[in-house]
Amino acid sequence: MSVPDGYFDVPPGKVAAVVTSLEMLAPPVLRPDPIGDWALRRVAQPDPAWYRDLYARVGSEWLWTQRLRMSEAELSRTIRAEGVEITTLEHAGGDEALLELDFSKKNECELVLFGVTSKLIGTSAGRYLMNHALRRAWAQPLTRLWVHTCSFDHPRALAFYQRSGFRPYRRQIEIAPDPRLDGTLPRDVAPHVPLLA
C-alpha cells in the first residue's frame, strides 16, 4: 500500500504517536543485574483496584490508558487470563513497577506492559526488572518475544529495549482520543505531549 509523504492534520481532541514494535528471536546475553533496594513479587491473582492504581502510577505520564478504560469485569478477565503473568517490584513498602507477560500464544510471549514509577526511574530498577522478564520469558519454549513502545513513552524507552536485545521490525502511527480531555487522565500529565483541546 502506497502512503503519500507529507504532513497530515491530527483531528481535534486526538493525539498521534509513532509506535515501534520490537522482537527477539533467541535469548540475549543479559546485562549485569544492578543492586538496589527492591524485590520482585509475582502477583498471581491481581486485584483490579490494585492493578489500576499501579498502572496509573507507572503509566499516566506516558499516556497509558487502555486498561483504565476497561470495565472491572473486562480488566479482571484480562489480567487473570491463563498465560498472563504479572510481577511488580517492592520498594520502601510499596509496589513501584509493572511487568506483564502474555504466554497465551504457543511458542511466543508478548511483553505487554513494562515500567517503573517515577520513584524508580534512573535507579537501574528497570534493568533489574527487564533481566527478570527475559529470564522468565526464555525459560519457556519460545521462538519469539516481542514488545511495542511509542513516542509518548519515556525518551529512553526505545534505546533501553534495544540495549536489552530487542530489534525493531515494524513502525505504525496510532491516533487515539486524548485521555486528558475525556477525564481518563488529569489534564496536567504528559507535558511532553501538547494538549490541543
Q: 89 - beta bridge partners?
A: 40
Count other Cβ atoms within 10 Å, centred on residue 197.
Answer: 8
- What DSSP character marks residue 115? E
What pTM does this model have?
A: 0.95
Listed in sequence order, the DSSP H helices in 10-71 are 48-59
The residue type found at 126 is G
Sign of CA dihedral 105, 76, 147, 89: negative
Each residue's pLDDT, cut to its tens digit, for the chain (197 residues) gives 777 899 999 999 999 999 999 999 999 999 999 999 999 999 999 999 999 999 999 999 999 999 999 999 999 999 999 999 999 999 999 999 999 999 999 999 999 999 999 999 999 999 999 999 999 999 999 999 999 999 999 999 999 999 999 999 999 999 999 999 999 999 999 999 999 87
pLDDT at residue 80 in the model: 97
pLDDT at residue 25 in the model: 98
Joined grid coordinates for residue 126 = 528497570
Strands (E), 69-125: 84-91, 94-95, 97-102, 108-116
pLDDT at residue 89 in the model: 98
- What DSSP character marks residue 105? S
**What is the C-alpha to C-alpha distance for residues 19 and 35, in angstroms, rounded to an integer?**
32
Contact between 58 and 118 under an 8 Å Cβ cutoff? The reply is no
Joined grid coordinates for residue 19 = 509506535
- Domains identified in the chain and CATH numbers: 14-25+35-177 (3.40.630.30)
pLDDT at residue 129 in the model: 98
Report the DSSP pairing between strands 144-150 and 97-102. unpaired
